[in-house]
Structure 1
Amino acid sequence: MQSLLIIGYTWPEPKTTGAGVRMMQLIHSFLNHDFKITFASAADKTKYSEDLNAFGVREQLIKLNDSTFDSFVKKLNPDVVVFDRFYTEEQYGWRVAESCPLAIRILDTEDLHFIRFAREEAVKKKKAVNFKNSKIALRELASIYRCDLSLIISTKEVEVLIKEFKIDNELLQYVPFIPNKIKIDVLPGFNQRQHFVFIGNYRHQPNVDAILELKKSIWPLISKELPQAALYCYGAYAGEQIKQLHNAGERFFINGWTENAHQQIQNARVMLAPLLFGAGLKGKLVDAMQCGTPFVTTSVGFEGFGNYSNLSFSVTDEIRTFSENAIKLYSDEFLWANYQKEGFQILIEQFLNQDFESLFFQKLKKLSSGLNSHREDNFIGAMLRYHNLQSTKYLSKWIEAKSKS
């Protein structure tokens, strides 16, 4: 039985974040391939954290900038190490490379942070997006090069890495969300549903900006035309800024975290997702399609789902058009049914009909049998690992020594 160590930026929260869903899907994929898994993190657990022990996964608390990790990982001696986001690889990657040089090092990007931050800056400063003028890009790309393989969740992100940054495709593996099979016969129909829904974790800035846009610009236009409809907003970690948006008179409800997000989504007639910026694949839209709930979103929101011209009606970056399309989709049963069908088609063609898990483990097997030659071909990665060991390593040791003194 092979051994896997996952070093988590946080403990997985599949009921609050897309990142948590993604991590649990990876964990189950490795369990399906008979890996013995240890999940380690320096983060504090929350009430939403998944109980990994229930799945046979060992949990291990670790520390930042502490050499106790070296003895821990050396004793564990994993065959594969997965870093949850590039921040984690920066902190622990050099330690893994020193203590377990034969372990395959995999970066799970979740989404490409430099794309999200570049788009956020462009929106806030009203300027063109520039992915390359970013310190985050330098850090994240260096992390991709230092690892043997990076998991990318969106086809758009694969395209950006290969075309704009000339990353070798051998260093990348496209592994999107893996949806559950659709049970169309148990989903409520058009007349059994009512109201609009928005869902998102409010620690994620794109969700905060989206709900503020809904409150300020979009919902007033929709509610004027649909006086019987309401908007229900769900999501964990709602601060005072979000809670104060609640207004029963405007039929704008902040309902906080929900135990069963799919239930709330499939009860709604339409999902609204006016994401102004972001990256990766949007878990809320995958959930909407699984629940048979048509949505209206932006070009950023729909990124990574392919080119479906029939859905162009529900993808727009113009606020008035967004609102008008939401009203039409909510009111027209024939249009609504067509969009639901198109959502099912996307899930089937883009996700369910492709065995991403098998492709990933084939790549892993290939890496295992030819790791030395793979690393020799990745000369930039070797160069970055060398310099990283000389800089990050000693900065970490200095922080450790300072904290002990």
Structure 2
Amino acid sequence: MQALVSAGYRVAFVPDEGGTTCANATRLRASGIHVPRLHRPGDAPTWLRLHRGSLASAILCRHHAAGHWLPLIRAVAPRASIVFDTVDLHFLREMREAELHDDRRLHRHAESTRQRELGLVDRADTTWVVSPIERDLLLEARPNATVRIVSNIIDEDTPGQPFEQRRDLLFVGGLRHPPNRDAVEWLARDIFPRIRTKLPGVRLHFVGSPGTGPAMTFPPESGILVHGHVPDIAPVLDGCRIALAPLRFGAGVKGKVNLSMAHGQPVVATACATEGMHLQPGIDVLVANDAETFATAVARLYQDPILWQTLSNQGRANVRRYFSPEAAIATAKASLGPPGTLPPSP
């Protein structure tokens, strides 16, 4: 949204759940984004009807929200172009989870999500995905659809601390998200004990919201520290030596990987965690898909300042090349047309 504002668009953000009196809404307004003052979920459709004459385009994020907003916008603002922003293909992530656990119930749920997402692709004017892999997957199912790539936007670029001043390992991810919770469990159970045999004394930091499941706790001697949500993540990105991304299923482009790389923090990841990110194993990132190989890669990188610096430099360059605001705006303009007008503040 900030990138669109900087490109000359007038942007209104309407949250699906209603209320807009929180501090986050205040920060958005201060950055030039119009956030209508809504108090209940029912206020958003009323606002839309009031401003329908000046609505040029609507970007609907995730299928949960797009499913009920798309028909309403078609009805009240038929001339507005509609973009379905998948954020990531939810059905792809759910299918991979079902395959990992060989679960028929999860397979049925994933297929239901697939039908919902493909239905929205059919009804939207343009669909946004975050990687070439997801674009090609959608076009295989819907060859006539207009599918464009608008990936994660990272507007940070810092080397952080040098190798010698960094310590320990980092995993970032909210535990409400199933791929993150699975990754944490696998990391704590199978990977980190192997790392500790190779790097005695190294610690592992978990940062992210705890989610709704059982709290994760570890004894002090495990070397695992759970921080929960932190208001400013920059110190751990700049101070921990390596970021870990042992995701066994998922979809989309992983913000945790890009954010670490933007802070000069090299990453050891599974192939799933680097999918669609233009990363070259051994040059931009280290990739490993089983616990022993993953632990070996971490230990190697932790003790090799030359390899560490190479990955640090290359990771930052990759973020600048593919995930800058400028790259996203070029695609957005192709979808939305030149900057027009959006509703003024009421």
Q: Work out whether the TM-score is over 0.5.
A: yes
Does the CA contact (< 8 Å) of 1:242 and 1:254 recur in 2? no
Distance 1:112 1:69 in 2: 26
Corresponding position of 2:344: none
Deviations 1:297-354 (A, max 9, x none): 1111000112514348711211110111111111111221222122123224333496
1:310 aligns with 2:255: no
Matched residue SS, 1:310: coil
* Bigger share in helix: 1
1:199 aligns with 2:196: no
Does the CA contact (< 8 Å) of 2:284 and 2:315 recur in 1? no
Structure 2, unmatched stretches of 5+, are 341-346
Q: Structure 1's 346 and 131: CA in aligned 2 closer, same or farther, altered over 3 A? A: farther
1:326 aligns with 2:295: no
Corresponding position of 1:107: 84
1:268 aligns with 2:215: no
Letter in 2 for 1:40: V
Q: Structure 1's 311 and 166: CA in aligned 2 closer, same or farther, altered over 3 A? A: farther
Corresponding position of 1:165: 141
Structure 1, unmatched stretches of 5+, are 1-26, 369-405
Q: Structure 1's 90 and 40: CA in aligned 2 closer, same or farther, altered over 3 A? A: same
Does the CA contact (< 8 Å) of 2:92 and 2:110 recur in 1? no
Corresponding position of 1:54: 30
Corresponding position of 1:81: 58
Does the CA contact (< 8 Å) of 2:281 and 2:287 recur in 1? no
1:279 aligns with 2:255: no
Say which of 192, 209, 212 aligns to 1:236: 209
Say which structure, 1 or 2, has more relative contact order (CA 8 Å, 6+ apart): 2
Corresponding position of 1:213: 186
Q: How far off is 1:181 after superposition?
A: 5.3
Identity of aligned residues (%): 24
Matched residue SS, 2:214: helix
Corresponding position of 2:307: 335
Q: How far off is 1:210 after superposition?
A: 0.6
Does the CA contact (< 8 Å) of 1:114 and 1:131 recur in 2? no
Does the CA contact (< 8 Å) of 2:206 and 2:227 recur in 1? yes
Corresponding position of 1:18: none
Equivalences for residues 75-154 of structure 1 within 5 A? 75-77=50-52, 78-125=55-102, 134-154=111-131
Say which of 8, 15, 21 aligns to 1:34: 8
Distance 1:367 1:144 in 2: 24
Letter in 2 for 1:174: I
Matched residue SS, 1:81: strand
Q: How far off is 1:295 after superposition?
A: 1.1
Matched residue SS, 1:260: coil
Equivalences for residues 311-390 of structure 1 within 5 A? 311=283, 314-352=286-324, 355-365=327-337
Matched residue SS, 1:217: helix
Q: Structure 1's 202 and 130: CA in aligned 2 closer, same or farther, altered over 3 A? A: closer
Q: Structure 1's 263 and 308: CA in aligned 2 closer, same or farther, altered over 3 A? A: same
Say which of 155, 166, 169 aligns to 1:180: 155
Q: How far off is 1:59 after superposition?
A: 3.1
Q: How far off is 1:45 after superposition?
A: 6.2
Does the CA contact (< 8 Å) of 1:41 and 1:60 recur in 2? no
The worse-fitting range, judged by mean Cα deviation, of 353-362 and 340-349 is: 353-362
Does the CA contact (< 8 Å) of 1:298 and 1:315 recur in 2? yes
Letter in 2 for 1:180: D
Aligned length: 334
The worse-fitting range, judged by mean Cα deviation, of 42-51 and 149-158 is: 42-51
Distance 1:364 1:41 in 2: 20
Does the CA contact (< 8 Å) of 1:38 and 1:60 recur in 2? no
Matched residue SS, 2:171: strand
Q: Structure 1's 93 and 179: CA in aligned 2 closer, same or farther, altered over 3 A? A: same
Hey, which bits of structure 1, 4+ residues long, moved more than 6 A? Answer: 44-48, 129-133
